[in-house]
Structure 1
């Protein structure tokens, strides 16, 4: 195994140093040579599932420009491996690298349904839509085995509590039986992330996600079953998917989405280094162009942390992207509307059944 060999099926191509740890891990040349001579793999590239036991699961979101009040994440880390993912930095708080570790060391919160139920039964809790995901995808591959998201949806249904879902995985359709019951009382809405119509782009940008065809069919299937769907065309990355805004918006509308959202890519924290290394290996012919255009959107930097500006960007390129989305909404979504979820039922179901008196 060569030191700079491309790691197939992964987004990040390295494990950058954890900023909170004094020690760091390095793959030395002499070790790699030893593995080669012995016929061993220095890195088997396998995903590890690690059980953790948090004390709380519902998080209050204080960021004023995120668009959600509360979120919960059944998993920490995400095997989807999206190279641009802002959540990578959060893996450092658990003692791991935001690079390959984020994709290969998945923390499993098996007590999430129990913690959620305790929260919804609390006398002090007032119903407010809780977003499943928000940091890492609740329908990532681990969900096939652990079913934590499904069990959480059962809790939301039991207590008639509103829930939003963000995912880029077609696995969400597995839970249509629960989702359709929630939808009867306007208690659920979904956001499906679709960042490109090109499978070639999808495979390198988001290596372990559902295909574009499956995602669009998921939008259609959810919509046909009465579940309102927003399509997130996010992030928009100049010179990678920025030319696809109008075709993506049309595809979303044609498949039943009631709205679209977008952000402009920002490479915060360690993601700047991870993304730069990745694009130099996957798109060397346009790496500098893409990086410079991202900088153009953030005042000459790969990231801007200012609320209200960090996800919208500034400058001519950002303005052009926003103009295309205004056109897309007028052309494809003028008569559609994403709903506000119902918060009026939960109080009567706080003990898990309807209170008659």
Structure 2
């Protein structure tokens, strides 16, 4: 781990954020640092959330990963105000010239034309329907969704096309869209995964500062389940030496709230995330920082992270195998499945657009 030294940002300036540094992205030639130059008695201002607008040419991203249950996704936003220190998507901000640290949480990018572009892509004659995932990179229900409502607009398009959708989120704003999701779920067109990292409110607030509390997320599961939406509780990420002892309680709490399926994912530390996470550990849990990283490396062949298919989500070795067995035993005891039922793709029909003629048959 790099010595964070002088690049650690003052706690008052980054209050309510996850990362403790804002190192420049790995593609930048120079590092930058916020300093008080002595010319004013005013303290440096705190990090505020800034939103830029992006107008992409397309919004559906394809993948061929055997580890994922979907081959396409859509992300309404880049960056995420939730500030989860462990977020594997942080390194993507480096491609934009931003830091994976505090920039990822404060310099956000919205795609307000996402629903319009999605409709164009769904109308292509070459389009082959399959479940579309929302929230695979950054949360579609992070706080700025309340202002931009891009996720709801996307759902409105998917409902009109009767297109299946899978949502992964920690955001309570999803309850706003229960009307759409319940109608789609009644046709086998919608499923939701809610991730719960810890049931300890204090740990959760430090680790994911702008995410709803664990108790609030369990209420989200109940709300969606009562509305007929199939929900999966996700113990993700599992952090050895910090949250791994909560695996069974999280799965049980999710089941009790109405989840019918459960999964877990081992902590992933790609790229800049490793240093950011270790900086965070040293600040908040210095007494166990070394233990956490030693256990992580034991499950990653001595490395901070391995990206190989089949192992990146669960790790390898004796400790990883024991974690897997605990998960499987808990699922059997709780009566939850590992996967949700397949969604329907046979209902997909592009609705008539302006100027289209009705079919005679």
TM-score normalised by the shorter chain: which range applies? over 0.9
Q: How many residues matched?
A: 351
SS of 1:281's equivalent? helix
1:15 paired to 2:16: no
CA drift at 1:356 = 7.3
CA drift at 1:167 = 0.2
1:115 paired to 2:142: no
Is the Cα contact below 8 Å between 2:194 and 2:232 reproduced in 1? Answer: yes
User: Deviation string for 1:6-36 (max 9, x for gaps)?
Assistant: 3321111111221112233123xxx42526x
Q: Which residue is 2:3 aligned to? A: none
User: Deviation string for 1:300-337 (max 9, x for gaps)?
Assistant: 11101211111110122212211110111101125796
CA drift at 1:227 = 0.3
Partner Cα distance (1:117, 1:205) in 2: 37
User: Deviation string for 1:57-97 (max 9, x for gaps)?
Assistant: 00001222132210000000000011111100111111111
User: Deviation string for 1:261-292 (max 9, x for gaps)?
Assistant: 11111211111111111110011111111111
1:351 paired to 2:352: yes
Structure 1 residues 284, 336: CA separation in 2 closer, same or farther (over 3 Å shift)? closer
1:25 paired to 2:32: yes
CA drift at 1:49 = 0.6
**Structure 2: 5+ residue stretches without partners:** 1-5
Structure 1 residues 296, 355: CA separation in 2 closer, same or farther (over 3 Å shift)? farther
Structure 1 residues 355, 313: CA separation in 2 closer, same or farther (over 3 Å shift)? farther
User: Deviation string for 1:176-207 (max 9, x for gaps)?
Assistant: 11111111211100000111111011101111
CA drift at 1:151 = 0.5
Q: Which residue is 2:10 aligned to? A: 5
Structure whose residues are more often helix by fraction: 1
User: Deviation string for 1:216-263 (max 9, x for gaps)?
Assistant: 011011011110001111110001110001111111111110111111
Q: Which residue is 2:38 aligned to? A: 34
Please give the residue correspondences for 1:63-212 in structure 2 after superposition, counting only pairs within 5 Å: 63-212=65-214
Structure 1 residues 356, 60: CA separation in 2 closer, same or farther (over 3 Å shift)? farther
Structure 1 residues 356, 240: CA separation in 2 closer, same or farther (over 3 Å shift)? farther
CA drift at 1:210 = 0.7
Scaled by the length of structure 2, the TM-score of the pair is 0.93
Structure 1 residues 196, 356: CA separation in 2 closer, same or farther (over 3 Å shift)? farther
CA drift at 1:42 = 2.1
Structure 1 residues 185, 4: CA separation in 2 closer, same or farther (over 3 Å shift)? closer
Partner Cα distance (1:117, 1:198) in 2: 41
Query: Structure 1 residues 132-141 or 332-341, which shifts more?
Result: 332-341
Partner Cα distance (2:160, 2:285) in 1: 48
Partner Cα distance (1:334, 1:216) in 2: 16
Structure 1 residues 355, 173: CA separation in 2 closer, same or farther (over 3 Å shift)? farther
Which residue among 278, 287, 299 is the counterpart of 1:276? 278
Partner Cα distance (2:322, 2:284) in 1: 26
User: Deviation string for 1:119-165 (max 9, x for gaps)?
Assistant: 11111111110001100000000100000000000000111111110
Partner Cα distance (2:291, 2:150) in 1: 42
**Structure 1: 5+ residue stretches without partners:** none
Structure 1 residues 325, 97: CA separation in 2 closer, same or farther (over 3 Å shift)? same
Scaled by the length of structure 1, the TM-score of the pair is 0.94
Structure 1 residues 258, 12: CA separation in 2 closer, same or farther (over 3 Å shift)? same
Structure 1 residues 54, 161: CA separation in 2 closer, same or farther (over 3 Å shift)? same
Partner Cα distance (2:226, 2:338) in 1: 15
Is the Cα contact below 8 Å between 1:18 and 1:98 reproduced in 2? Answer: yes
SS of 2:341's equivalent? coil
Structure 1 residues 119, 284: CA separation in 2 closer, same or farther (over 3 Å shift)? same
